[in-house]
Chains A and B, each alone.
Chain A
Amino acid sequence: MSMGGFDAEIVRDFLTESGELIIQLESDLVVLERSPKEPAMLNQVFRALHTIKGSASFLAITQLVRIAHAAETALNAARNGQAAIDRTAMDLLLEAVDLIKSQLGQIESGSALSEPREALVTSLVAMGEPGGGHSAPTPVAAPAPAIAPATPATKAPTPPASVAGAIPFQPLKLEGGKADLLEFLIADLDESTTKVATAIQQFAGNGGQKPAKPECDQLADLGEQLVRTAQFFDFAPMVLLATTVQQAGMHLASLADESQQQVMPRLLLVCELLAEMTRGVRAAELRDPPTGCLLENITLLLNSSEVSAPFQLPPGCGLEAVARIDGTWCPAHTPAPATQPTSQIATPAASAAPAPVAASVTVEPTPPESASQAGPASKPDASGAGKQGSGENTIRVDVSRLEALMNLVGELVLQKNRVSALTRRAQMLECSDADFSEAITLTAGALDRVTGEIQTAVMRTRLQPLDKLFGRYPRLIRDLAGKTGKKMRLVIEGGDTEVDKSVIEELGDPLVHLLRNSADHGLEMPEDRAKSGKDETGTITLRASHEGSHVRVQVADDGRGLLRDRIAKKAVERGLTTDEKIAAMTDREIFNFIFEAGFSTAEKVSDLSGRGVGMDVVRTNIQKVKGEIELSSEPGRGTTVTIIIPLTVAILPAMMVGVGREIYAIPLTNILEIVRPQADQLHTIGEHAVMRLRETVLPLVSAAEVMELVSGPEMVEEPFAVVLSMNDRKIGLMVSKLIGQQEVVIKPLDESQPASKRAVSGATVRDDGGVSLIIDVAELMRRAETLHHASAA
């Protein structure tokens, strides 16, 4: 690995960017498998891979470039219609993606990179080599750039005689790591230049019509790629030309016709110059053809300014004329008008095929479908446009900075609460100066509002669409389908639902568990499904939606469903309940047993085995982010698991309650109601207090006892019962007084203290500056339960 020479920041950026791309790539590939001929998808996949390869080659990560290049070759062939993306091909591609993924991980951890499996590289590259006699489509052997007039570049290491005489050059020198990549890079350069030339020719040949925005965006994209490649050679003139192309892509669409006419021929000339440089690189020379005022003029035009009179191009003027006017180097046999490049077509295949619009697309000798990648296809451009747009409108921010900001906002909220409290006090003092008191109230109100808005805004910076997570799952389902031999599809709904980053992180593993369960145990084998009259292909639906300040995520399958009797039987076997109790239980209560730790691992052969594997882990994870999980199932119709989680974990709506002299916060989401029980509602069963509430009997827990406040003989009076619910269980928590609702900012308690067994999930600062502990309802429930089990036994 030769990362040594690069700034850690650059490497990190590369890792972040490539990491994101690879996740996208993975899910795109699965989509591609379903519709292998979809050019938009093919292009998107190709582009993602290409970007990764480009960055990697800039960083001289040879192993990664090698595999990326092989995969790209295969994809390119598919794009050209020379190879089909069948299952085998997809397996190869996914293997390549996996390898890149692990390589990225290795770069991150600083360990040695694994080399691609030789057979993998060979097979991928072989996909790119057509059986027929027509040209090798691998970029390495890509023919000369489109408008290059000369013989194919591979055979033309020396430049054609130019009007402006010999081109100055310096020998191309590359470090060891980069030299290995030269071949790839040249291919890249060749390809990008060709595409740019094709695109511009299409614009120019468009009869004065303005190029559409998406096409321009694509040009900008191409330019960007070109810049990257050029940077690799560390050759400023080339970077400059590439940047000009990129700029052109960004501004062309908004130019007046007049400027367009002036700029198009010039851009064609830029392509010529780039092509010449590419030829130079191939001959290990960094050629620097004089560019005169060309670039300055283009920049002027792109900024919607006029070029001065001597530089005005007459309509329809050829490259040679442009070169003369701007004083640049010019290729020898300039094809006369730009719209009709009579260039020698490099491959027989291409010359035989009627090439679309710009006559000389030699890299894609296939009919319009795949040729669209450089041209006016709309779909890939749409994504390109999106990418371009986001590139301009977003910045990457270190998460720790956002977290610091979040903490500060939390502080601000606290101080605001204090100001509100002080204002209330000031009002009670009945300040004699009415104006003053009103001013204070107004200011406090404004502060309140602004703080609220800041809080929302900052919180939003941490929100991310669930797609970020969901994007990984099509691949998972594909692999599971392969392993289980079942037919299944994954339907994703509401992937644009946004939730807090930390929630996304906590949700990842549970969802994998649930999907795996659905695929593995929920869905039946195709023949069984057919027998019971279902579609052979099982459907797993992953659904997300907002629900107030919560997000609901559902994993549903249309499989066989849970079998009540089996679960009940097993629950009795494991001593979790008794036969008598079972009879009175609802389905839901019985299904809840599968959340018990290790519930289903006992018997591996049964239908429901595995249904519970990890379900306790799932529930624990969900509870960690203050979420809840529910399960419903219908025999023969399928199982649905619903997860409800708060949008954010940093701020919690809570009810503040007093217990003795302390004040505690209880998460509002868990509170069903608050009652003041009358004496006749209170009973004891065994040694345990219970409360009758309408038709149900709730176990009662004293907050003072849980919080260890009763040290002496003094009794804490607790007249109120807060009815808490979680996962369908209810208990009553007795407290002394009710203070009111408040949004509390969750602060961690000192970590070095044992947090496991205390019924406190964190702390918060009240508006009077004091600290209140936040009651952990899940732990409270557990305790109440153990008490009950103990008393029942």
Chain B
Amino acid sequence: MSTTKTTDTNQPFAGRQLQLVTFDVAGEEFAVDILAVQEINRMMELTRVPQSPPEVEGVINLRGKIIPVLDLRKKFNLPAAAKTETSRIVVIEVHKRVLGFIVDRVHEVLRISGDIVEPAPPMACSIDAEFIAGVGKLPDRLLILLDIDKLFSAEAAHADAATSKHKAA
């Protein structure tokens, strides 16, 4: 899932086993491929950087490396909310770039069959459909699989149009 898969077919992940990390943002449950996730941290103090894109909440010190942290609520145009005890920073690596994003709560690591994932219906939820790799139909609920490539390459492109290498991917 960390690689861009075409979502032309009805079942973009058919025949594959998916191992996902799931989390909540604004009452909806999202998931990303576990391989992209480096670590999950408790909230820490963010340092704001002037003149950065609005969804960039600030930077943190990840064992000596300074990485940007994004607020997924802002990215998805969801209402802002205060950070809570359960808020976490999910650190991922995408296009050789390490960054974090804030989620309301991390749920679990989940193994599902790719057969139950369907492409996203365009109007399914409040977030832009292009960031969604698919929707997983679990017996009791739906899971939105994020396409982090698109999600964060778009962020990079937005932040700096010159870094076309991010865009190209």
Contact = CB atoms under 8 A, between A and B. Distances in A.
Interface of A: 407, 410-411, 414, 662, 706-709, 747-754, 757-760, 763, 765, 769-773
24 contacts: A407-B64, A411-B63, A411-B64, A662-B48, A708-B51, A709-B48, A747-B64, A750-B59, A750-B68, A751-B163, A752-B97, A752-B166, A753-B49, A753-B52, A753-B160, A754-B51, A754-B160, A757-B51, A758-B52, A759-B50, A760-B49, A765-B66, A769-B61, A771-B59
B51 A749 contact: no
B47 to A, nearest CB: 4
Contacts of A709: 48
Interface in B23-78: 44-45, 47-53, 56, 59-61, 63-68
B21 interface: no
B151 interface: no
Contact of B66 (A407, A662, A752, A763): A763
A733 to B, nearest CB: 14
A747 B66 CA distance: 7
- Across the A-B interface, the 5 shortest Cβ-Cβ residue pairs: A771-B47, A758-B51, A708-B50, A752-B156, A411-B64
Nearest to B65: A747
B49 A414 contact: no
A222 B64 CA distance: 50
A316 B47 CA distance: 84
A8 to B, nearest CB: 23
Interface of B: 44-45, 47-53, 56, 59-61, 63-68, 97, 99, 156, 159-160, 163, 166
A410 to B, nearest CB: 7
Contacts of A751: 163
Contacts of B66: 747-750, 763, 765, 771
A10 to B, nearest CB: 30
Contacts of B51: 708, 754, 757-758
A758 B160 contact: no
Contacts of A754: 51, 159-160
A763 B64 contact: no
A753 B56 contact: yes
Given A748-B66, A749-B59, 13 more contacts: A407-B64, A707-B48, A749-B66, A750-B68, A752-B156, A752-B160, A753-B160, A754-B51, A763-B59, A769-B44, A770-B61, A771-B47, A773-B49
Nearest to A753: B159
A769 B159 CA distance: 27
A753 B64 contact: no
A757 B51 CA distance: 8
A708 B65 CA distance: 24
Given A752-B159, A752-B163, A773 B47 contact: yes
A749 B52 CA distance: 11
B68 A765 contact: no
A734 to B, nearest CB: 16
A18 to B, nearest CB: 33
Contacts of B65: 747
Which of B64, B156, B163 has the most chain A CB atoms closer than 10 A to its own CB? Answer: B64
Contacts of A410: 64
Contact of A758 (B49, B63, B64): B49
Contacts of B63: 411
Nearest to B50: A708
Contacts of B61: 765, 769-771
B75 to A, nearest CB: 15
Nearest to A763: B66
Contacts of A760: 49-50
Contacts of B56: 753
B64 A414 contact: yes
Nearest to B68: A750
A750 B64 contact: no
Contacts of A749: 49, 59, 66, 68
B159 to A, nearest CB: 5
A707 B52 CA distance: 11
A760 B52 CA distance: 11
A770 B45 contact: yes
A249 B156 CA distance: 61
B169 to A, nearest CB: 12
Contacts of B64: 407, 410-411, 414, 747, 765
Nearest to B152: A752
A772 B47 contact: yes
B53 to A, nearest CB: 8
Given A410-B64, A765-B61, A771-B66, A750 B48 contact: no
Nearest to A769: B61
Nearest to B153: A752
Given A747-B65, A752-B166, A753-B52, A662 B160 contact: no
B47 A750 contact: no
A410 B64 CA distance: 8
Contacts of A765: 61, 64, 66
A710 to B, nearest CB: 11
A748 B99 CA distance: 14
B39 to A, nearest CB: 16
B97 A750 contact: yes
Contacts of A707: 48, 50
Contacts of A763: 47, 59, 66
A750 B67 contact: yes
Nearest to A706: B50
Contacts of A411: 63-64
B64 to A, nearest CB: 4
A754 B49 CA distance: 11
Nearest to B51: A758
B88 to A, nearest CB: 18
Nearest to B95: A752
Contacts of B59: 749-750, 763, 771
Which of B48, B53, B61, B97 has the most chain A CB atoms closer than 10 A to its own CB? Answer: B61
B149 to A, nearest CB: 14
A171 B27 CA distance: 84
Which of B48, B60, B67, B156 has the most chain A CB atoms closer than 10 A to its own CB? Answer: B48
Which of B49, B67, B68 has the most chain A CB atoms closer than 10 A to its own CB? Answer: B49
Nearest to A758: B51
Contacts of A706: 50
Given A708-B50, A752-B156, A754-B159, A771 B68 contact: no
A82 B56 CA distance: 73
Contacts of B163: 751-752
Contacts of A759: 50
Nearest to B165: A752
A706 B49 CA distance: 11
B124 to A, nearest CB: 29
A272 B93 CA distance: 66
A552 B49 CA distance: 33
B102 to A, nearest CB: 16
A760 B23 CA distance: 34
A769 B45 CA distance: 9
Nearest to B97: A752
Nearest to B52: A753
A420 to B, nearest CB: 17
A48 to B, nearest CB: 41
A754 B158 CA distance: 10
Nearest to B166: A752
A411 B61 CA distance: 11
A148 to B, nearest CB: 63
A773 B50 CA distance: 10
A758 B47 contact: no
A570 to B, nearest CB: 34
A407 B64 CA distance: 9
Contacts of A708: 48, 50-51
Contacts of B99: 750
